[in-house]
Each structure stands twice: as structure tokens, then as C-alpha cells.
A and B are shown apart, each in its own frame.
Chain A
Amino acid sequence: KNQVEQSPQSLIILEGKNCTLQCNYTVSPFSNLRWYKQDTGRGPVSLTIMTFSENTKSNGRYTATLDADTKQSSLHITASQLSDSASYICVVSDRGSTLGRLYFGRGTQLTVWP
């Protein structure tokens, strides 16, 4: 069964600290993996997208890694800010259909305290 598991479920850190969020998936065949940020009451916004051949991608203070062999990804946030408080969702796409079906994780709820 194709699944996406994220950990931790929730995380609290102090402003300025770094953190790493994890995503494990069993989706096969694999097309790409995306990380989204979803602020409370808003829709998800794409942070990064990685294909099979990419193992790291950065977007400002966000750096995503992908190990396609172990089917693991991480999202590292550097020098956290209060505005980083949000849910971070890992989404994996298969290439088994023309639609490119997406499998969503439940997200990691990050809270940054001053």
C-alpha cells in the first residue's frame, strides 16, 4: 500500500534554532517528492520539489534532502523564525498514471516560540 509517513507529528522549537522534519514513503513507482508549508487557515504552498535524480534542494532557509534508495526525505529549517510556525506536508507522486497521483502525509505541526 502506498503511504507517506511523517515525523514528528508536532514539534516546538525556540526562535533561531534549527530543526529537521522527516518523511518516509512506500510509494512506487516514484516520480517526485514535494514539501509544502501550510499556514493555519491557508492552502499549502510549495517549498521544494525533487525528482529521483536529485538528493538535495534548497529554498532560502529550507533545505530538502531525498534518499530514493531508502525512500526517505527530510526538510531542514535553518535559523527558525516565528513565521515558520505552520504545518509541513510531504507529498509523493507516482508515475503510474498520466495524472501523477499524489500521496499526502499528515504533516508535522511546527511551532516556533520567541
Chain B
Amino acid sequence: EADIYQTPRYLVIGTGKKITLECSQTMGHDKMYWYQQDPGMELHLIHYSYGVNSTEKGDLSSESTVSRIRTEHFPLTLESARPSHTSQYLCASSDRDQPQHFGDGTRLSIL
């Protein structure tokens, strides 16, 4: 089993709040990713990182931001949550061409 952890698993919060979704991996992987997944739809890449101090935007435009200060940690932040941000957010990591290992996701609901 891959060791990649996301917290919280579920979050229900009001509009306008600042939110940070946590993602940590203990495998020493350089590459980390954030995906957004809506029910019945494909995963969309919103952010990725090659390593420490490296962050890039993915294919799907997102108002969220990320940081990579440590190899094992890749948090995602929404400065002001809106109902349109309601979704499931999945974090993943990989080492070279190995299959990506996914966390169990954070299901976010903005009221």
C-alpha cells in the first residue's frame, strides 16, 4: 500500500472561508499532483510539482494555489471558498514512470 495521506477526508464549510487541504507522502517521491474529480467524471489535473520549490498549474483552471516547501508535503489552498469549488480533491505522487499513488481524497462542500 502506498503511504499518501490527505486531510481532512470531508469538509463542509461556508462561502468566503479560507481552506487548506493537506497532502503528505512518506515515499520520498519527487512528483506530486492535485486532481479534481466530480461524480461520474474524469479526473482533472489542477496542480503538479516536480520537487521542492517547483509548482505548475495543470490542465483545469483552478482558483486554488499550492506550495512545495518540503518533499513530503503538498498542501492546496483556497483563499475564499465558493460553492463552485464543491468537489472531490485527490492528491497523488509518483517516482519516475511508476504508477501514480493516490490518497483517498478530500470531499469538499461549500455552502
- By beta carbon, the residue of chain A nearest B107 is A41
A42 to B41, CA, bound (A): 15
- Interface pair B40/A43, CB less than 8 Å apart: no
Number of interface residues of B (CB under 8 A): 22
Q: Which residues 52-73 of B have a CB within 8 angstroms of A?
A: none
- Interface pair B103/A43, CB less than 8 Å apart: yes
Smallest CB separation, B11 vs chain A (Å): 14
A44 to B43, CA, bound (A): 10
Partner among B41, B42, B50, B102 whose Cβ is within 8 Å of the Cβ of A43 = B102
Q: Is B45 an interface residue (CB 8 A)?
A: yes
Smallest CB separation, A78 vs chain B (Å): 22
Partner among B6, B99, B105 whose Cβ is within 8 Å of the Cβ of A46 = B99
Q: Which residues 87-114 of A have a CB within 8 angstroms of B?
A: 89, 99-100, 102, 104-107, 109
Classify chain A's interface size.
Answer: 20 to 34
A106 to B37, CA, bound (A): 10
Chain A CB within 10 A, most for which of B41, B48, B100, B107: B100
Q: Mark B1-21, 1 if CB is under 8 A from A, else 0.
A: 000101000000000000000
A107 to B105, CA, bound (A): 17
A109 to B105, CA, bound (A): 18
Q: Is B90 an interface residue (CB 8 A)?
A: yes
Ordered by A's residue number, 11 sampled pairs between the chains whose C-beta atoms are within 8 Å are: A41-B105, A43-B104, A43-B105, A44-B102, A89-B42, A89-B43, A99-B48, A102-B45, A104-B42, A104-B43, A106-B41
- A-B pairs, 8 with minimum CB distance: A43-B102, A46-B99, A104-B42, A104-B43, A43-B104, A106-B42, A44-B102, A42-B104
A sample of 4 more A-B contacts (CB under 8 A), given A44-B43, A46-B99, A107-B42, is: A43-B4, A43-B92, A104-B42, A106-B42
Question: Interface residues, chain B, CB within 8 Å of chain A?
Answer: 4, 6, 31, 40-45, 48, 50, 90, 92, 97, 99-105, 107
